[in-house]
Amino acid sequence: MIFIFGLNSLNLFAQSHDQPSDNLEILSTKPSHKKPVIVVIGENQYTELTDFIVPYGILKRSDIAEVYAVAENKGKLDMFPALSIEINTSLDDFDNLHPEGSDLVIVPAIHNAENKTIIHWIQNQYERGATIVGICDGVWTLGYAGLLKNKHATGHWYSKEKLSNVFSDTIWIRNKRYVQDKNIITTTGVTASIPVSLALVESIAGTKKAKEMATELGVTHWDAHHNSEGFYLDWQQYITAAKNLIFFWNYERIGISMYEGMDEISLALVADAYSRTYRSKTVAITNGNRPVLTKSGIKFVSEMEEGEKIQIHSQIEIPKQKKAFDQLVHTLVEIEKKFGRTTKRFVATQIELPID
């Protein structure tokens, strides 16, 4: 969960001569599972929105696995940097349903990367043979769980200096969008959730199914190629962020009109981008503050108390017919119109998306 401030060196990830293959592989599926059992786990306090929603949406929609959205406790799960969802399955609930464990666990960036309950649960799943995927700064939780020792791994560009210091026994890889070392998979920044999810679909169900999902999303490729050196805060972005912070207490609230069956992947990408400008924040607008169930069965809840009224400066619609990645590109164009090109670049840098 990266709201960035500061500059880091770009020469900290080692380029290994013995890098793992770019082709992902789920190393084992339990014999009792008709389909792979996949868990996307979140922390109730704060979980990165795109890291959680994108893998869940892609894997659920592909219909190739039994996919669970799980948190430490049932109830509200606040997302970062915007929106909230309702979780119906706790860690204990999942363990009761599947005492044999899952086949794949996806770990987004969470507020407390050292959450002992979540770490203990992930360790147990790993010991039972699950493949563990750390999305973006979810790699911190994997590191604190002791799963990265002597492993090849990657992470968000902004975190890599601290990652390499804290987990010095990990072989940190650059220029890869995602890296697998045995049954540990890690990714770069926020938008890497798209290609790694498609790569997981391909590993489970083949290239044809992955292409179908990519077409639905508006994505042309999902390989691991990445230019790590292209992501850093130059002084222009740094100054833009500082200026935008001046408006923090007077930021623009952008309402997103929610409707039943909406595309939660588009929603996550749009809300994430607008809420990283330091000038705006997205708010879910629901009918009568009632929860809204999305296309893949995620229940988004209103962030306003019953009867509460807050000022909405502008309202946007997410059309049904627009593909998710196209919607993200459109949002970045709108951000440039509203707040300028450097703010657009600042957002793209945070979500580690090449825009030039």
Domain identity same for 214 and 339: no
Closest by CA to 178, choosing from 170, 189, 163, 165, is: 189
Domain identity same for 131 and 251: no
Maximal C-alpha separation, the chain: 60
Domain identity same for 219 and 254: no
Q: Is residue 31 part of a domain?
A: no
Domain end residue (candidates: 200, 228, 256): 228
- 152 — phi, psi (to 5°)? -75, 140
Q: Provide the residue count of the chain.
A: 356
What rounded mean pLDDT belongs to the chain? 89
The mean per-residue pLDDT over the stretch 67-71 comes to 98
Which residues, including other chains, have CB under 8 Å from residue 105's CB and lie 6 or more apart? 38, 39, 41, 122, 125, 126, 130, 131, 132, 133
Q: Is residue 25 part of a domain?
A: no
Domain end residue (candidates: 178, 205, 228): 228
Domain identity same for 290 and 344: yes
Q: What's the pLDDT band for 245 if we cut at 50, 70, 90?
A: confident
Residue ranges making up the domain that contains 46? 37-228
User: d(Cα 35, Cα 63) in Å, to the nearest integer?
Assistant: 9
Domain identity same for 198 and 342: no
Domain identity same for 269 and 311: yes
Domain identity same for 314 and 165: no
Q: What's the pLDDT band for 2 if we cut at 50, 70, 90?
A: very low
Of all residues in the chain, what percent carry a pLDDT higher than 90?
75
Q: What's the pLDDT band for 234 if we cut at 50, 70, 90?
A: confident
pLDDT exceeds 60 at position 285: yes
User: What's the predicted TM-score (pTM) here?
Assistant: 0.91
Residues 83, 303 contacting (CB under 8 angstroms): yes
Q: Is residue 355 part of a domain?
A: no
Interval 270-283: pLDDT, tens? 999 999 999 998 99
pLDDT exceeds 90 at position 4: no
Q: Is residue 265 part of a domain?
A: yes
pLDDT exceeds 80 at position 341: yes
Q: What is the pLDDT of residue 16?
A: 37
Q: Is residue 145 part of a domain?
A: yes
- 46 — phi, psi (to 5°)? -155, 130
Domain identity same for 214 and 248: no
What DSSP designation does 129 have? Answer: T
Residues 218, 326 contacting (CB under 8 angstroms): yes
| Distinct helix (H) and strand (E) counts, the chain | 11, 17
User: d(Cα 238, Cα 180) in Å, to the nearest integer?
Assistant: 33
Q: What is the pLDDT of residue 119?
A: 98
Domain identity same for 125 and 239: no
Burial class (CB in 10 A: 0-12, 13-18, 19+), 34: exposed
Domain identity same for 272 and 184: no
Structure tokens at 220: 């042309």
